[in-house]
Structure 1
Amino acid sequence: MSNPKPLRFKPRSNQRHGISLIEVIACTAIVAVMIVPIASVIRASGRAIASSAEMSNEAKLRSGIRWVKDTIGNGAVVNVGSRNLTLLMASGQKGELVLDSNNLIFSDGRTKTVVLENIGRFECEAIMRSEKPTSMIGVAIRIEGKDPSTGTAFKLESLIATAPQSS
């Protein structure tokens, strides 16, 4: 009996070495579908960064008023003048909010903090209880100014409630 010959595979002459045009088109379409949302996210984040860097005057004013409100909330109002506001801080120190050369400044005797810039007018008024005129329930603040880059005038009025005071 003769030994069987081992099977040998002939190399095909039509065997592929590379990728087809259909595969390239399919991969390009898949990559394009993935890039479009990523590009829109990058574009939106760029716009958000640009708009936050150029905060509007109204946003700056609201941020400054929010700071004043938080400061009043952490202390007690001692005196409300027509152009200044004196507070007793939680630490026991007195602080004063006053307009100084177009800047609204909070000073605690040791440091000065610029709360708002380019302010032309700052007014305060105590809001008193009608039944007890010696008991203050809030502070009305009016701020006016002009944006130096655009020349646009701005105005903000805010009422800030104070902690109940005993008299």
Structure 2
Amino acid sequence: MHSHSRTGFSLIEVIICVGLVGIMLMPLASMMKASAHAWQDAEAEGGADARLRSSARWAHDTLLRCDGIVDTGKHWIEFQRSGATWRMEIIGGQLRMRAGTQDILIADQVTDLEVAVSRHSATNVILAVDFQLIGNAVGAAAAPQVNTTVTLDPLKQL
């Protein structure tokens, strides 16, 4: 009786397997490439929206952490933070936050900040700040807009 045990693959078997795996991976590679191009196109078109949403979240979180709202206008918000009075407003197409000599850029390419407040009817205390950031229009596309509401802690009111 002759027993033959196999110890490995022959070179031709390895070449065939590698070729088959390569053939199967080609469609996957082209799908990944198409997906990457689609993502880049979506980023190019929606990049302004994403930046505006990110800036609105940052402004929202900043107002949530503030010591209290001092005053608001139709296009600005004044609030207390770390003992200083800060003003958030549009200056030269940029959403900026300023206090004294400190000046922080929040968002670029913003055309407007629209502010509305909700006040307690008896005490006139500001309960919530609704604001809308409006970005620059690109080409024929409508200008991106982001709306957000900051509901304030009544114990932190000034």
Q: Same fold (TM over 0.5)?
A: yes
Larger relative contact order (CA 8 Å, sep ≥ 6): 2
Aligned AA for 1:153?
A
In 2, Cα distance between the equivalents of 1:119 and 1:27? Answer: 54
Q: Is the 8 A contact 1:118 1:148 kept in 2?
A: no
Which residue does 1:125 correspond to in 2? 116
- Cα distance between partner residues in 2 of 1:87 and 1:118: 23
Work out the percentage of aligned pairs sharing the same amino acid. 16
Q: Which has the larger helix fraction?
A: 2
**1:88 partnered with 2:77:** no
Letter in 1 for 2:143: A
Matched, 1:109 2:114: no
CA contact (8 A) 2:60 2:149 kept: no
Partner AA of 1:101 in structure 2: G
Partner of residue 78, structure 1: 70
Q: Scaled by the length of structure 2, what TM-score is found?
A: 0.71
Query: Unpaired runs of 5+ in structure 2?
Result: 1-9
RMSD over aligned CA atoms reads: 3.1
- Report the residue type matching 2:151 in the other structure: A
What is the rounded CA distance, in whole Å, between the counterparts of 1:154 and 1:42 in structure 2? 29
After superposition, the C-alpha distances for 1:56-108 in whole angstroms (9 at most, x for unaligned) are: 3322221111111110111121111222111111x222211011122111113
Structure 1 length normalisation: TM-score? Answer: 0.67
**1:117 & 1:149 partners in 2: Cα distance?**
17
| Structure 1 residue aligned with 2:20 | 29
Rg comparison, structure with higher value: 1
Report whether the alignment pairs 1:158 with 2:142: no
Runs of at least 5 residues in structure 1 that lack an aligned partner in the other structure: 1-17
Candidates 126, 136, 144, aligned match of 1:136: 126
Q: Is contact 2:56–2:133 with CA below 8 Å preserved after alignment?
A: no
Aligned length: 147
Query: What code does the residue aligned with 1:139 have?
Result: V
* Counterpart position of 2:4: none
Q: Which amino acid aligns with 1:26?
A: C
Q: 1:95 to 1:38 in 2, by over 3 A?
A: same
